[in-house]
Amino acid sequence: MTETTPEDRKRLKARTKLIHAGRRPSEQHGFVNTPIYRGSTVLFPTLDDLSKRNARFSYGTQGTPTTEALETAWTELSGAAGTVLAPTGLAAITLALLAAVKAGDHILVTDSAYRPARIFCDTVLARMGVETTYYDPLVSAGIEALIRPNTSVIFLEAPGSQSLEMQDVPAIAEVARAKGVCTILDNTWATPLFFPPHARGVDMAIEAGTKYLSGHSDLLLGLVSANAQWIKRLRATFDAFAMCAGPEDVFLALRGLRTLDLRLREAERQALDLAHWLASREEVVQVLHPALPSCPGHALWKRDFLGSSGLFSILLAPCSTNALAAMLDGLKLFGMGYSWGGFESLVIPFDCSTYRTATIWSPPGPALRFSIGLEDIEDLKADLDEGFKRLRSVA
Ligand SMILES: *Cc1c(COP(=O)(O)O)cnc(C)c1O
């Protein structure tokens, strides 16, 4: 057998890339997977090698064969010029932002952004003299009117991971490019399998590897892929922080990578089934799932995305907190907790009204976010059906 080269893999479909990218059995005595390299010190055989630093690896903070394997695979999958790893998804966001801003800058952040990203902007970036304006996620090319001479970044998330508003990423990226503004997209929901970020015009793309890449709720990891224009600055910023991901987490992410396509497509199938079922329930006022034609972002999703993942939300008809608690507290199969993208189904109530500033969030009743896992869908429906019965039985 002959190993695939990066050139070979360019011609392969994404599914096949997932299997072959970032693996070099010939360097691992034939073993299929790259093992966990742990290490700080790397030894140089001669003074000449040391002074030229001409080794593939030179010190633990700058990468190991394990981190290189995941970076290479993610770069190829994303259609990027390069990737850096960070210890968490949030760290990946802050790293990308810090690579692109300087004191005195202004940045535009979607009102639907992952909330801890907002906190970073409002505290750390604000202290550094970077001003943030939040914008309506539905702004599209109208973003141009918000760009100031000192605007350096437009931060996007499509769809928003609670409210599921879809963004017109190509339109915003085109305006940004014309104005010399860097675009950073939180692509965690779609992953590069369902939204190829750089082909759609984005400069840097974030993936919280904690979610679907892990797939098993057992690790924390972030990835930032960048195009040719931004990779050097991103890598230099990473080096300045040495914000390294843990070797074990990187190894587990490599394991998750091999089945990402399979798991994502099953999550998609299950979530669509459940979303349609929920849409027919009288307790549910609206299902927020971009792949449903009734969802406002559907046209954009259909135009730009190659699939939908297992995360979506619903708006319930008005009910008391006691009734909602009766429904959620008694669920046997849906866990209640943060994060998503694992093998197990989750549900969590959310309320964006407490922190949004550019848009108004006022649903008629409680809002619930679901992450659909790999259980049998009929069991999940039965668990929710019982939950809705409890909801209706409490005043
Ligand atoms: C979870 C999440 C993150 C952050 O990932 P962590 O690894 O938990 O820090 C970022 N963006 C989105 C959309 C997320 O859902």
Q: With contact defined as beta carbons under 8 Å apart, do 157 and 113 qualify?
A: yes
- 161 versus 335: the higher-pLDDT residue is 335
- Whose C-alpha lies nearest to ligand 1, atom 6? 89
- pLDDT tens digits, 253-303: 999 999 999 999 999 999 999 999 999 999 999 999 999 999 989 999 999
State the pLDDT at residue 178: 98
- Whose C-alpha lies nearest to ligand 1, atom 4? 89
State the pLDDT at residue 251: 98
Mean pLDDT, rounded, for 161-178:
97
150 pLDDT higher than 90: yes
Q: Where are the domains of the chain?
A: 6-257, 260-393
Q: Report DSSP letters for 311-379, one per residue.
A: EEEEEEPS--HHHHHHHHHT-SSSB--S---SSS-EEEEE-GGGT-SSS----SS-EEEEE--SS-HHH
CATH of domain 6-257: 3.40.640.10
220 CA closest ligand 1 atom index: 7
State the pLDDT at residue 296: 85
Two structure tokens written together for 318: 């008005």
CA distance 67 to 245: 8
CATH of domain 260-393: 3.90.1150.10
175 pLDDT higher than 90: yes
Count Cβ atoms below 10 Å from residue 218 Cβ, excluding itself: 13
**Pocket residues for ligand 1 (CB within 6 Å)?**
88-90, 114, 157, 161, 186, 188, 208, 210-211, 220, 222, 339
CA distance 60 to 42: 7
- Whose C-alpha lies nearest to ligand 1, atom 15? 161
pTM: 0.97
State the pLDDT at residue 349: 98
Two structure tokens written together for 315: 């708006």
Q: Report DSSP letters for 370-385, one per residue.
A: EE--SS-HHHHHHHHH
Two structure tokens written together for 60: 């633990």
56 pLDDT higher than 80: yes
237 pLDDT higher than 80: yes
Q: What is the residue-averaged pLDDT of the chain?
A: 97
Residue 90 Cα to ligand 1 middle (Å): 6
Residue 208 Cα to ligand 1 middle (Å): 5
DSSP state of 246: P
State the pLDDT at residue 180: 98
How far are the Cα atoms of 45, 132, 159, 338 from residue 191, in angstroms, in the given order? 41, 26, 11, 19
Mean pLDDT, rounded, for 168-177:
98
Confidence bin at 305 (pLDDT 50/70/90):
very high
395 pLDDT higher than 90: no
Q: With contact defined as beta carbons under 8 Å apart, do 234 and 81 qualify?
A: no
Question: Closest Cα partner for 235 from 93, 78, 362, 62?
Answer: 62
State the pLDDT at residue 1: 84
Residue 350 Cα to ligand 1 middle (Å): 15
Mean pLDDT, rounded, for 175-203:
98
Does the bond joining 290 to the residue before it have cis omega, within 30 degrees of 0?
no
227 pLDDT higher than 80: yes
Confidence bin at 152 (pLDDT 50/70/90):
very high
Two structure tokens written together for 267: 């999550």
Beta strand segments in 111-199, E: 131-135, 151-157, 182-186
Mean pLDDT, rounded, for 126-140:
97
Mean pLDDT, rounded, for 291-318:
96
Residues whose CB is less than 8 angstroms from the CB of residue 267 and which lie 6 or more positions away in sequence, other chains included: 212, 309, 310, 341, 372, 373, 374
Confidence bin at 55 (pLDDT 50/70/90):
confident
Residue 121 burial by Cβ neighbours in a 10 Å radius (0-12, 13-18, 19+)? buried
- pLDDT tens digits, 73-124: 999 999 999 999 999 999 999 999 999 999 999 999 999 999 999 999 999 9
Pocket probe mutation, ligand 1, options 109, 114, 352, max atoms within 8 Å of Cβ: 114
53 pLDDT higher than 80: no
Confidence bin at 250 (pLDDT 50/70/90):
very high
φ, ψ at 46 (rounded to 5°): -135, 160
Q: Which percentage of the chain shows pLDDT scores above 70?
A: 100
Q: What share of the chain is helix, strand, coil (3-state, %, to 5)?
A: 40, 15, 45
338 CA closest ligand 1 atom index: 1
Mean pLDDT, rounded, for 137-148:
97
212 pLDDT higher than 80: yes
